Amino acid sequence: MANKFTNWVKKLFQSQLAIPIVALLILVIFNLIRDPSFFSIVILKNNLGNRVLSGNLISILNGASELVILSIGMTLVTSATKGQDISIGASAAIAGSVFVKILRAWSINPGTILLGIILGCIVATIFCLFNGILIAKFNIQPMIASLILYTAGRPIAYWINGGATPNVDSPLLTYIGGFIPHIAIPTPIIIVVIFIVLINLLLKKTTLSLYIQAVGINERAAKLNGINPVIWKLAVFVILGVCVTMAGSINVCRIGLINHETILLDIEMDVILAVAIGGNSLGGGKFKLSGSILGAYIIQALTITLYAMKVSSVAVKAYKAIVIIIIVIAGSPVVKAWLKQLKNKIAEKFAAKATVPVQEAK
């Protein structure tokens, strides 16, 4: 039994998830030493009188909801295109603006909310496909292609609502962005779990994952095997359109308004870092969604930790940058190769010492 556990641990730390797991363990241990009650969960009553879960752990899971959803979309884009879309925050602002536009046009009810999400998804997908066409058909680097929408996206979101930052107020939206009555878990956490399950079913029950990775690993070889790279690159941008719509809609429901300047501001860097921390290559190819999801929660845990240490919001980005640089360097191919060489040298020394007594005995 002990050998099986040891082998399982060895396989785990040799896998793609090694870096995010180690980073998460370090954060957990650090917080437990700094404040043993950091991860405690309590039950409180909210403004509506319902019992809800509260605590730093809930804040991490809840606060990372948009980041997790966007990290899933970015992972697929990175795998297929060998680059990153830096306009996801702007695309989410556009989707959120369409969502608010629909909500303000009619009375807010489940049908209106669903219509707003669907239309927001259609509009966001069109803009994401604009990036996809530049990348897939014109072979423009993803970061350069998405720079157009990164610059113009938020002004477009502002224009959709007539140059205003309107608010929306409804108990239904509060349920989506906060808590459903008699359910203690924040609704965004539930939405993320459902979204992850659906994405995993899509990838496992279809050939989507295989074709995306094939295009990302070797586009020429994929063509020779009858796979059309353009179609599958565009497919990941359709999925990204869904992801930015979900993230933008959740954020609107959280705060009850759309502000094109602040909605998911600077989330692009956190999303890209979540993909990198998750052990996924930013050069495309093979991917692991669980790594990106774990990376998103690590970034949010780091943010909550810094706030708990009374670090100012201005300085949080600097501290995060330092920690994330260390994590990314630790997971780089150069460091991995060095660690492998070091491991082999240590193993050779132990093997040499073990053979000495045998030779002396002879």
| pLDDT per position as a tens digit, 289-302 | 999 999 999 999 99
Q: If pLDDT is split at 50, 70 and 90, which confidence band does 347 have? A: confident
Which residue type, as a one-letter code, is found at position 344? N
pLDDT tens digits along 92-143: 999 999 999 999 999 999 999 999 999 999 999 999 999 999 999 999 999 9
pLDDT at 335: 81
pLDDT at 150: 96
pLDDT at 164: 81
Angle, CA 326 vertex, CA 88 and CA 274 arms, to 5°: 25
Q: Are 214 and 225 in contact (CB under 8 A)?
A: yes
Cα-flanking dihedrals φ and ψ of residue 260, to 5°? -60, -25
Least reliable range by pLDDT among 192-206, 245-259, 308-322: 308-322
pLDDT > 90? residue 5: no
pLDDT > 70? residue 337: yes
pLDDT at 128: 97
Least reliable range by pLDDT among 171-185, 187-201, 341-355: 341-355
Beta-carbon contacts of residue 242 (< 8 Å; ≥ 6 apart): 73, 121, 124, 125
Angle, CA 239 vertex, CA 82 and CA 193 arms, to 5°: 110
Please give the Cα distance from 192 to 170 (Å, whole number): 22
pLDDT at 356: 58
pLDDT at 66: 97
Integer angstrom CA distances of residue 192 from 52, 125, 166, 186: 18, 20, 26, 10
Cα-flanking dihedrals φ and ψ of residue 82, to 5°? 60, 30
pLDDT tens digits along 12-40: 556 778 888 888 899 999 999 999 999 99
Reading the block at residue 72, the tokens are 């899933």
Q: If pLDDT is split at 50, 70 and 90, which confidence band does 11 have? A: low
pLDDT at 21: 87
23 vs 75, more confident: 75
Spatial CA neighbour of 284 closest among 192, 222, 207:
222
| DSSP state, residue 137 | T
Q: Are 150 and 86 in contact (CB under 8 A)?
A: yes
Spatial CA neighbour of 296 closest among 8, 2, 24, 35:
24
**C-alpha 148 chain-centroid distance:** 22
Mean pLDDT, range 245-265, rounded to an integer: 93
Please give the Cα distance from 42 to 56 (Å, whole number): 10
DSSP string, 254-291: HHTB--TTTTTTTHHHHHHHHHHHTT--TT-S---HHH
Mean pLDDT, range 51-79, rounded to an integer: 96
pLDDT tens digits along 59-69: 999 999 999 99
